[in-house]
Amino acid sequence: MSNETFVFTQVRDDGVATISINRPESKNALNMATREQLAEHFRAATGDARVRAIVLTGGDTCFVAGADIREFVAASPIEMYLRHTENLWDAVARCPKPIVAAVNGFALGGGCELAMHCDIIVAGETARCGQLEVKLGLMPGAGGTQRLVRAVGKFQAMRIALTGCMVRAPEALAIGMISEVVSDDRTLTRAHELAAEIAALPALAVAQIKEVMLLGAELPLDGALALERKAFQLLFDSKDQREGAVAFLEKRKPNFTGQ
């Protein structure tokens, strides 16, 4: 296992943590070391009270071009099973704080799946997304078949996964695969703007919105609506709810404390 560092975190004063993948010689391909470091950084951000929102980036030229094929080209099924990479992905999927992906260049295979683990995806205008696994005789294995169909629907998801095509950013926006398209040089800036905007809002309300949206999507409508009601009612015990209401009536900017 490599001792190199491929993932870095910087926490800004506005409560935004930027988690950066830096493995440019491999277009940020996800080897095991990178996956493990990503999980460590997301767990740390989850437990850091300073962090209220997260930006995930691969840099100016490439988000993540996929998994590192060299690490599984000769692997057996048991070897793949024993890696238990699902535990590493869970550190991202179960992070309760909002995650904004800043996607430039390629977000392919595992990189596309990583972006779909996030809550908002900002892409540069020349970015390309896709699930190319079928061209390797494989299929998406980190949520690509399930998160993609939930994001864009059966017919677009089938087209993308079955052909292994690359989807350009404007089309990805049109079909609901990403949130926004900006010029390539604005991708990270725009992701930070969104994250900072969220970080400045009441943390308890933000956390409940994310949790209820993700959990509710897996429930029948009646159950999801009940979950929503309970979370809505719970927030009436928060100081930020009272501050927000009073500030609105007094026509002033609210002072949210996260309580």
Supply the CATH number for residue 49's domain: 3.90.226.10
Domain that holds residue 33: 7-199
Q: Is residue 255 part of a domain?
A: no
Residue-level pLDDT at 73: 79
Residue 231 DSSP symbol: H
Domain boundary among 199, 220, 238: 199
Question: Do residues 106 and 33 both lie within one domain?
Answer: yes
Question: Do residues 81 and 109 both lie within one domain?
Answer: yes
Query: Please, what is the average pLDDT of the chain?
Result: 95
Question: Do residues 218 and 146 both lie within one domain?
Answer: no
Residues with catalytic roles: 67, 110, 113, 133
Question: Do residues 14 and 39 both lie within one domain?
Answer: yes
Question: Do residues 190 and 212 both lie within one domain?
Answer: no
Question: Do residues 188 and 213 both lie within one domain?
Answer: no
Question: Do residues 113 and 165 both lie within one domain?
Answer: yes
Q: Tell me, what CATH number does 232's domain have?
A: 1.10.12.10
The answer to whether 88 touches 36, Cβ cutoff 8 Å, is: yes
Q: Is residue 56 part of a domain?
A: yes
Q: Is residue 259 part of a domain?
A: no
Q: Is residue 68 part of a domain?
A: yes
Q: Based on the structure, what is the number of domains in the chain? A: 2
How far apart, in whole angstroms, are the C-alpha atoms of residue 184 and residue 52? 25
Question: Do residues 176 and 232 both lie within one domain?
Answer: no
Q: Is residue 166 part of a domain?
A: yes
Question: Do residues 105 and 217 both lie within one domain?
Answer: no
Question: Do residues 146 and 236 both lie within one domain?
Answer: no
How far apart, in whole angstroms, are the C-alpha atoms of residue 130 and residue 36? 23
Domain boundary among 199, 216, 238: 199
| Bridge partners (DSSP) listed for residue 130 | 108
Strands of the sheet with 106-108, listed across from one edge? 106-108, 128-130, 167-168
Pairing of strands 53-57, 16-21: parallel
All residue ranges of the chain with pLDDT < 70 are 1-2
Question: Do residues 182 and 209 both lie within one domain?
Answer: no
Q: Is residue 257 part of a domain?
A: no
Residue-level pLDDT at 38: 97
This prediction has a pTM of: 0.93
Q: Is residue 254 part of a domain?
A: no
Domain boundary among 157, 184, 199: 199
Residue 184 CB contacts under 8 Å (≥ 6 apart), including other chains? 60, 104, 124, 125, 126, 127
Distance, C-alpha 179 to centroid of its chain = 11
Question: Do residues 184 and 216 both lie within one domain?
Answer: no
